[in-house]
Structure 1
Amino acid sequence: MRRRSLILAAVPAGLVTLSACGDDKSDSSKASDSASPSAPAPSATSAAPPPKIVDGPLPAITAGAKFGQKPTIAKGTGTPSDQLAVKTLIAGSGKTVVEKDTIQANLIGQLWDSAKVLVDTFSTNKPQFTQLAPGASMDGIRYALTGKKVGSRVEFSVPPTWGFGAEGNAQAGVKGTDTLVFVFDIQEAFGPKSSAKGQDVPQSDAAVPKVGTNTDGKAPSIEIPKSAAPAKLVSNYVIEGDGAPLVAADTVLVQYKGVVWETGKEFDSTYTRDAPTSFSLQGVVKGWAQGLTGKKVGSRVVIVVPPALGYGDSPPSGSGIEKDSTMVFSVDILTKV
Structure 2
Amino acid sequence: MNLMLIVDVPVKHHIQWTPNQEDHLPWDQEAQSRVAPGLRELDREQTGEVHADPVGYKESSVQHSQKPAPEEDTKEEGWSGWGCTDNSQAFTYGFQLLSTLLLCLSNLMFLPPVLIALRSRCLLEASVYIFTMFFSTFYHACDQPGIVVFCIMDYDVLQFCDFLGSLMSVWVTVISMARLHSIIKQVLYLLGAMLLSMALQLDRHGLWNLLGPSLFAVGIMAIAWTFRTIRRRHCYPPTWKRWLFYLCPGTLIASSAVALYAFVETEENYFYIHSIWHMLIAGSVGFLLPPRAKPDGRVAPLARRKGCGYQLCVNEQEELGLVDPGSVSINSICTS
Q: TM-score, normalised by structure 1?
A: 0.26
Higher share of residues assigned strand: 1
Higher share of residues assigned helix: 2
Q: TM-score, normalised by structure 2?
A: 0.26
Structure of higher RCO (CA pairs closer than 8 Å, 6+ residues apart): 1
